[in-house]
Amino acid sequence: MKKKWIALTLFSITAILLAGCDNPLLIFDPKGPQARTLSSTILFSIAMMAGILFVVYVLYTFVLVKYRASKLPDDYEPPHEEGNKWLEIIWTTIPVIIVVILSVITVSSTSTVEQKSVAYADQKPVVIYASSSNWKWHFSYPEEGIETVNYVNFPANRPIEFRLYSYGPITSFWIPQLAGQKYAMSDMVTKIHMSADVPGSFMGKNSNFSGKGFAQMEFEAQSLSDADYKEWVNDVKTTAPKLTEDEFDDLLKAEHVGRKTYSSNHLEFRPAPEGEHSGHHHGGATSTDDQHEGHEDMDMDMDMDMDMDMDMDMDMDMDMDHDAH
């Protein structure tokens, strides 16, 4: 028993080290403030959990070595033990403390990564809409007036705000080295904040199973220096074709396509499901919560959407509709 566990621990440690030496695991190789927060949160929790495992394993090894029948005299009869109030209080209280610590860390890191990072707080974020259809990603730049498919470029050292939605099944937008993932759904827009500290190319993917072509649903996310980004946008605007409604419909229907670049975007004729186009008309009719009534009033809905995370956070009713987001 014991030998097996020692072997197993050694094996796992070597496996982690091997994987970690030349090439750190993706999640522990963050390239932006949000992903860095997540990476250190995870490392901290691993350390804490290792502590718990250590205590359990030491006790476990101790009892198994000491109280095996073969090592005890034949006439040994184990005592009757009801329990021990103090011991039980101890092993309830310590986990409570651990959970409290982890809760504090969770709440603070969750709210950190759900916002523009402090490092770039003074800059206006670059807004990019990312929508999924079948097994591809569309990136629309409302300010630049351009659109790409299956790759996205953005400036480094700037806050980026992705707004996510889907033409079809739920997908999950994930660039592990820059930020944690978030769902893209067909009836609402969710937001994800990230920034890259350095220019570079990162793997992005859909991580939520969405049907047959799901495994291939990857894209490249590239952060460029400010100058390179400007040059790229200019290039696109002057050389790329316009995205017509027909072409967009064809794109939506296609299963997979390669990279595409357009000098206009589909938001103009096919707006994202936010504000007055939001699918959030459901829920309002049956609910008593007056926030839901707000959905009837389009302007107000729009305001709320701009600040969805902030306003809705306070909306603590757990009713089972989107409005709880």
By CB under 5 A, the residues from 166 to 205 that bind Cu ion are: 185, 188
Tokens of 214: 């799901």
Q: Is 277 in the site for another protein (CB under 8 A)?
A: no
Site string for another protein, 197-236 (x = CB under 8 A): ------x-x-xxxxxxxxx---------------------
Sheet containing 171-175: which strands, arranged edge to edge? 151-155, 218-224, 200-206, 171-175, 179-184
Q: In the bound complex, what is the minimum distance in angstroms from residue 273's beta carbon to Cu ion?
A: 9
Q: In the bound complex, what is the minimum distance in angstroms from residue 231's beta carbon to another protein?
A: 28
Q: Is 49 in the site for another protein (CB under 8 A)?
A: yes
19 binds, among another protein, Cu ion, none (CB under 5 to 8 A by kind): another protein
Q: In the bound complex, what is the minimum distance in angstroms from residue 284's beta carbon to another protein?
A: 11
Q: Is 103 in the site for another protein (CB under 8 A)?
A: yes
How many residues make contact with Cu ion (CB under 5 A)? 3
Q: Which of 33, 175, 223, 226 is nearest to 118 (CA)?
A: 33
Residue 151 has phi, psi (to 5 degrees) of -155, 155
109 binds, among another protein, Cu ion, none (CB under 5 to 8 A by kind): another protein
Q: Which of 144, 148, 154 is nearest to 130 (CA)?
A: 148
By C-beta, is 182 or 266 nearer to Cu ion?
182
- CA dist 35 and 176 (Å) reads 7
Q: Is 233 in the site for Cu ion (CB under 5 A)?
A: no
- CA dist 194 and 184 (Å) reads 16
Neighbours of 27 (CB within 10 A): 14
Considering only 77, 122, 246, 290, the residue that binds another protein (CB under 8 A) is: 77
Q: In the bound complex, what is the minimum distance in angstroms from residue 11's beta carbon to another protein?
A: 8
Which residue in the block uniquely carries the two structure tokens 């099944």?
169
83 binds, among another protein, Cu ion, none (CB under 5 to 8 A by kind): another protein
Q: Is 6 in the site for another protein (CB under 8 A)?
A: no
By C-beta, is 157 or 186 nearer to another protein?
186
- CA dist 195 and 119 (Å) reads 9
Q: Are 307 and 300 in contact (CB under 8 A)?
A: no
Residue number of the CB closest to Cu ion reads 322
Q: Are 145 and 265 in contact (CB under 8 A)?
A: yes
Site residues (CB under 5 A) for Cu ion? 185, 188, 322
